[in-house]
Chains A and B, each alone.
Chain A
């Protein structure tokens, strides 16, 4: 079992729907990540939050809107998605890897993901 909890586990939504993915961790980590993983492909980085501030946006379309309300929570708001956005969405957390030498080498802790299907 993982210490990073993602909800829901599965989500089916239409292209006109608005939905949100949620991620929670209680390890005291100050960096949180969203990754997207298509079938038989590696995870692709979408966003990174550091101390609740967005630090990396990998040119993700605006129909994906991240939010970090506090250090334990990370949301991904979805609106007007396309069928090609169907994928496994993974949340991860780590110590803030920009902080100091010891944190540079912090591993990522992943949740089990949300399997998203856009119809």
Chain B
């Protein structure tokens, strides 16, 4: 399975602090994506980083990718209570672009 492993499984921080989540995966990828899921709802795409990119920014989000270590991190800066959600990394596989599989997820709680 291409499923990634994420850590930590759960993270609780104060509003205004930064939150960092990590994702490791198993085989070569075409790209890595991060999604957010509010409780009981669908997933929302946050950011995609291609295998030939090392870092990408979008607003308060910063994603890094290290293909040599098969790992990625998502940094959320200046967190807000509204950032409380579960965050999943997702990977495809070279030659299997449609098979998008999700990591185990990090549950983030931002305390006001």
Contacts and interface: CB of A to CB of B under 8 A. Distances in A.
A56 B45 contact: no
Interface residues of A, number: 31
A107 B42 contact: no
Given A31-B98, A98-B97, A2 B42 contact: yes
A2 B98 CA distance: 21
A34 interface: no
Interface in A41-72: 41-45, 48, 50, 55-56
B60 interface: no
A107 B37 CA distance: 15
22 contacts: A33-B100, A42-B3, A42-B88, A42-B102, A45-B100, A48-B99, A50-B98, A56-B98, A56-B99, A88-B40, A97-B92, A97-B98, A97-B100, A98-B98, A105-B31, A107-B33, A107-B45, A107-B48, A108-B35, A110-B44, A113-B42, A115-B40
